[in-house]
Amino acid sequence: MDDVSFNVERGAVVGLLGPNGSGKSTLMRCLIGFFSPTAGRIRVNGVDVAERPIAARRQLGYLPEHVMLYPELTVRRYLGFVAGMKGLRGAKRRAAVSTALEQCGLADVAARHTGKLSKGYRQRVGLAQALLGDPDLLVLDEPTVGLDPVQTVELRSLVRGLAGRTVLLSTHILSEAAALCSQVVILKQGRLVAVDSPDELARRVERVGGVVVTIDGPVEAVHALLASLPGVADVERVEDGRGRAPTFRIGSNGAEPVQRAIAAAVVDRGWTLLEMRQEVSTLEELFMRLVG
């Protein structure tokens, strides 16, 4: 990891995005104090993770990428053990375990041994143990990886139900980040490439993407007109091979949307605007552009 700095505001749900091997898990393991960074600082609520690891860990709940449980323990006993590890005792401990069981939909399997749980339930147990002790910050490493679609939806709604808590979650699925997060941090090979809200990223997509228009009119004149419009950076003829009216791909210079000007100009000349669409509109494409 190199030169990765960002802040997570209280109450925010922040997604850590990046392809496999981009350093998401390493960053999280540094954050929870499992690895020590060779340089730089990590603070949780102002507590330095390297200097006061135990005080920092008290404020953290961590869900590792692969949830590993003790197969000999039942779900309830396991959560009781974790609650004890986090300093809860007696009635408080029992109450915290019951709440976590309830919150994560584990009440039905509380008496089952953790070795006999499905992947979806293991992940919930992982989330439940992270929630124990009411940590200020939840660190979730790829919470939905390996789950089937139903389990994925269930787990996402669990995470969404944590409203008010600060969550840092890593994922390589963009739609997940877009659905859950108020801010995304994009990593590539251990470096930070973007920090933004998913909406802002989507807007950036529109800005960088081109507009494709099909206009029924004289090719040369249409080309010249389009190139002269304000906000247009370049115009490129697109052959669609179907012998239709000329189609152009228009690159915007990002200053202002070009659609309105195109439509007005075409109507003004008496030509017919057959089609106009935004070319790139998925986060995936921006993502590829950022990390590719």
Partner 1 sequence: MSAFRALLAKELHVYFAAPLVYLVAAAFLAYTGYYFHSDLVYFVTFGFGLNIMENFWQIVFMDIRLVLIFSIPLLTMRLLAEERRLGTLELLVTYPVSDRAIVAAKLGACLIVVALLVGATALYPMWVYRVQPFDTTPLLAGYLGLMLLAAACASYGLFISALTDSQVLAGFLTAMPLLLLWLLSWNEAANAEATLPLLRALSLFNHFQPFAVGVVEARDVFYFLMLAGGFTWATLRVLEARQWRGRR
Dist CA 5 CA 26 (whole Å): 14
Considering beta carbons, is residue 190 or 251 the nearer one to partner 1?
190
Contact assessment for residue 136 and residue 58, using Cβ atoms and an 8 Å cutoff: no
Contact flag: residue 111 with partner 1 (CB under 8 A): no
Alpha-carbon span 153 to 165, nearest angstrom: 20
Residue 72 or 275: the one with the smaller Cβ distance to partner 1 is: 72
User: Which member of 5, 7, 39, 89 binds partner 1 (CB under 8 A)?
Assistant: 89
94 forms part of the interface with partner 1 (CB under 8 A) = no
Helix axes 119-131, 90-103, angle to 10 degrees: 140
The answer to the question of residue 231 lying near partner 1 (CB under 8 A) is: no
Gyration radius of the chain over CA positions: 25
Site string for partner 1, 25-64 (x = CB under 8 A): ----x--xxxxx-----------------xx-xx-x-x-x
| Segment near partner 1 (CB under 8 A); pick from 76-84, 95-103, 181-189, 262-270 | 76-84
| Least distance from partner 1 to the Cβ atom of residue 118, Å | 18
**Among 71-79, 174-182, 229-237, 279-287, the segment contacting partner 1 (CB under 8 A):** 71-79
The least CB distance from residue 142 to partner 1, in Å, is 14
Query: 246, 237 in Cβ contact below 8 A?
Result: yes
Helix H, strand E, coil C: the string for 4-17 is CCCCCCCCCEEEEE
271 binds partner 1 (CB under 8 A): no
Report the C-alpha gap between 154 and 120 in whole angstroms: 9
* Residue 46: strand pairing partners: none
Which of 129, 144, 166, 214 is in the footprint of partner 1 by CB under 8 A? 129
Helix%, strand%, coil% for the chain, nearest 5: 40, 20, 40
User: Judged by CB, which is closer to partner 1: 100, or 186?
Assistant: 100
Task: Name the nearest CA neighbour of 97 among 72, 117, 73.
Answer: 73
Q: Which residues bind partner 1 (CB under 8 A)?
A: 29, 32-36, 54-55, 57-58, 60, 62, 64, 66, 68-73, 77, 80-89, 129
